[in-house]
Amino acid sequence: MIKVGIVGGTGYTGVELLRLLATHPEVKLTAITSRKEDGLPVADMFPSLRGRVDLAFSAPEKARLTECDVVFFATPHGVAMAQAPELLAAGVKVIDLAADFRLQDIASFEKWYKIPHTCPELLKEAAYGLVELNREAIRKARIVGNPGCYPTTMQLGLAPLLQAGVIDASHLIADCKSGVSGAGRKAEVATLFSEAGDNFKAYGVSGHRHSPETLERLRLLTKDKVGLLFTPHLVPMIRGMHSTLYARLTKDIDNAALQALFENAYGNEPFIDVMPFGSHPETRSTRASNMLRIALHRPDDGDTLVILVVQDNLVKGASGQAVQCMNLMFGLDETAGLMHIPVLP
């Protein structure tokens, strides 16, 4: 059994990790940290875990994380890189759900996250945790930087087209929407029910920190210059993400061939569903699952391709993807503990 520790178990990605790992056939939950909730039984904070998780939260210094096989960081940016050196030295693998090990460009990281990067040597060896595009590197990794939720949808939606060289890579557009849980479990005016409910708004229009992450990874897929216009929006729902991507076709290619690009790329992927051409995937079709669904449209058979991508931002966009990485790192079936059917209605 894999002994698992979670640092920062009180947020939405933390409780999602607990939900997924509590029934994982190869996992023993060993430590869950929270300085503020030290000693509080996990099930007292999250009643959904009664009878499934019998651990209590513990302060980080009491948690014996170095006795784990792998530690997940569901924490603010900067925490993982402060603790990773000690854990790695003890032979513990690290999966960070924040941004400490996502961006290889340190200057870009420090610009967007406003903190210094304290372990650049570890960053060099970190694997980017988007399994479908980086599987072999993750399999061999000691440390993984889990992708952001928006970047997951943008990369998987555009990768087959960039790799095939059939679109103008310099003028990509991503119009993306996320549920309120993407902002985390915290008291903040913008995410209060009376502020976010019955409302719809864009944010980060002049610049969002998921842009440099996405651009860095998209540039690995093509020799062409990559340009991305990315606009995120907040929608009044708890969980779910819908990304509408626009790309201009530069090759004479029919719809069947476009569909085939995606089916060939993802046909054997357990967590990507390429729907029939012209479909309209819904966020609720992925709720509480690690599934991501993609559908293609070509309005008026013109030169613009529209790619629709949906996922649960807390699962495939965060904790589920992290568990998928863990499975690879420990030689398990990639789907272990992740075959939940989406919740409907």
Dump pLDDT digits (tens) for 268-283.
999 999 999 999 999 9
**Sign of the CA dihedral 185, 270, 243, 108?**
positive
Whether 183 shows a pLDDT value over 90: the answer reads no
CA distances to 11, 259, 290, 306 from 262, rounded to whole Å, are: 34, 5, 19, 13
Residues acting as catalytic residues: 149
Give the three-class secondary structure for 18: helix
Residue 65: both structure tokens together: 């994380």
Global pTM value:
0.96
Q: What are 222's two structure tokens? A: 């093509």
Q: Are strands 241-248 and 228-234 parallel, antiparallel or unpaired?
A: unpaired
Separation CA 209–CA 207 (nearest Å): 7
Pair type for strands 172-178 and 228-234:
parallel
Q: Is the pLDDT of residue 19 over 90?
A: yes
**What's the CA gap between 211 and 150, in Å, rounded?**
9
Please, what are the domains in the chain? 2-125 (3.40.50.720), 150-313 (3.30.360.10)
- DSSP three-state, residue 110: helix
* Beta bridge partners of residue 230, listed in sequence order: 174
Check residue 188 and give its pLDDT.
Answer: 86
pLDDT band at 190; cut points 50, 70, 90 = confident
